[in-house]
Amino acid sequence: MSVYKKTKDTLQVVWTFLKKPTAKYSLGTLLVVGFISGIIFWGGFNTAMEMTNTQEFCISCHEMRVNVYEEYKDSIHYTNRTGVRATCPDCHVPKEWAYKVVRKIKATNELFHKVLGTIDTPEKFEKKRLKMARSVWKEMKATDSRECRNCHDYESMDYTEQGRRSMQQHSKGLDEGKTCIDCHKGIAHSLPAMYEVDPSAAVNTK
Amino acid sequence: MKRSTLIGTVMMLSLGLLANQALAEQVHSLRGDNPLDAQSKEPKSMKWQDDRDPISRDYVQQPPLTPHKTKGYKINKNFNKCLTCHSWANYKEAGATKISQTHFSDRENNVLANIAPRRYFCDQCHVPQVNAPPLVENTFNPLQTIKRH
């Protein structure tokens, strides 16, 4: 009870202080100080958020470095003919600010499981792979593969420049209103045991 | 008796050694006449051939060649990339060739419900092509009954 009262008292003091109009500082000073600290805080917030938006940050956890990062290094998004590279956040974090902040808040769940050590060995990771993959597929399906489309846009895709199979599949996909992830699963990371997803494309390992 | 056996053995051995040496001097491997301790010439880098229509066979029972690139395609116990288009369940939608019925039988000729494990690793037989000249000159021609040429 006393702790509760103490907290209440402290809050009361802070509130009274904040409510009191200032008579000491000029409006100009307040504005300038407010403006500058606003820039610093906002800038600092965004810089910190951008720091968590780099590949170095992602692979600073061994769960990412030894599993999905190694697999990604085999993929076309890592090395290719033209040398354009898509790193982790390019595909896994939305570019638009509001969506990005929502994703960053959702990432607290990942921090929680980092602490629990849910996937801290390759064996544990493999056990959870289908579940984790499914949640990424679901999210990409829900956003109409928004992160893919930052670079790959149906509108700017010239099918006639594509190979025989791609041309056929892409024009068909567009007609049927499909989204990238419907077909392009496992393009950057190893797929989970796919027997449950497509029994005709895997052996039954159970 | 004992002595003659010994002499025979020694003679055989020395003959063998000589023959070996003679052979060693004549070996021309596909990597060229490069001495073992020297760097061999870097092979010209080849390009995987782009997608095209199915390539017809040159002899009976030839595993059809893969008429497209397969770079990055994985085949392991979790997943077989080829089957996402070539399985019976998927070939129609993908517009691909379906895998042969023979691939469903195990070696005792039991017909299975899915591709037999011994046929699961497609690229053991079905291989994509590069623009490479033949390693050895040859005059092989398919019979007219197999392929018109």
pTM: 0.76
Tokens of A129: 């792979």
A186–B114 C-beta distance less than 8 A: no
Q: Note whether B103 contacts A: Cβ–Cβ < 8 A.
A: no
| CB contact (8 A) between residue B78 and residue A192 | yes
Q: What is the pLDDT of residues A178-199, one digit of tens each?
A: 999 999 999 999 999 888 888 8
Q: What is the largest CA-CA distance in chain B?
A: 79
Cβ–Cβ contact B52 with A under 8 A: yes
| Domain spans in chain A, listed from the N-terminal domain onward | 39-152, 154-185
Share the mean pLDDT of chain A.
Answer: 91
Domain with B82 in it: 46-132+145-149
B97 contacts chain A (CB < 8 A): no
Residue B66 has phi, psi (to 5 degrees) of -85, 115
pLDDT at A4 over 90: no
Structure tokens at A78: 């890592």
Q: What share of chain A is helix, strand, coil (3-state, %, to 5)?
A: 65, 0, 35
Tokens of B106: 């195990």
Provide the pLDDT confidence category of residue B55 given band limits of 50, 70 and 90. Answer: very high
Min Cα distance B39 → chain A (Å) is 27
Contact A200 B87 (CB under 8 A): yes
Closest CA to A185 of A121, A140, A143, A146: A140
Contact B74 A198 (CB under 8 A): no
pLDDT above 90 (res A120): yes
The whole-number pLDDT of residue A197 equals 87
Question: Which candidate in B70, B84, B118 is best for mutational testing of the A interface (most A CBs within 10 A)?
Answer: B84
Helices (H) and strands (E) in chain B, counts: 3, 2
Find chain A residues with C-beta within 8 A of B68's C-beta.
163-165
Decide if B114 and A192 are in contact by the 8 Å CB cutoff. Answer: no
Q: Which residue has better confidence, B16 or A138?
A: A138
Residue B134, phi then psi, degrees to nearest 5: -60, 140
| Mean pLDDT in residue range A3-19 | 90
Closest CA to A162 of B145, B125, B51, B23: B51
For residue B25, tell me if it sits in a domain: no
The CA-atom distances, in angstroms, between B58 and each of A31, A148, B86, B132, B149 are 84, 42, 22, 18, 10
**In the predicted structure, residue B144 carries a pLDDT above the cut 60:** yes
Tally of structural domains, chain B:
1
Structure tokens at A23: 């008579």
Contact at 8 Å (CB) between A71 and A190? yes
Write down the pLDDT at residue A205: 64
Contact in structure between B30 and B135 (CB atoms under 8 Å): yes
- Residue B77, pLDDT > 90, answer no
Express each pLDDT in A136-167 by its tens digit. Answer: 999 999 999 999 999 998 888 888 888 888 88
How does DSSP assign A74-142, residue by residue? Answer: TSTTTS-SS-----HHHHHS-SSHHHHHHHHHHTHHHHHHHHHTTT-SHHHHHHHHHHHHHHHHHHHHH
Domain CATH code at residue B149: 1.10.1130.10
User: What sections of B27-144 are H helices per DSSP?
Assistant: 83-86, 91-94
Question: In this structure, is residue B36 part of a structural domain?
Answer: no
Give me the residue label for tokens 């392009």: A184
Q: pLDDT exceeding 70 applies to what percent of chain B? A: 80
Q: Where on the phi/psi map is residue A186: left (φ > 0), alpha (ψ -120 to 50), or beta?
A: left
The DSSP element (H or E) to which B75 belongs, if any, is strand B75-76
Maximum average pLDDT range among A82-86, B42-46, B47-51, B73-77? A82-86
Query: Sign of torsion, CA B103 B108 B111 B116?
Result: negative
Judged by DSSP in three states, B18 sits in helix
Q: Locate the chain A residue with the closest alpha carbon to B119.
A: A203
pLDDT in tens, B98-136: 999 999 999 999 999 999 999 999 999 999 999 888 888
Residue B18 located in a structural domain = no
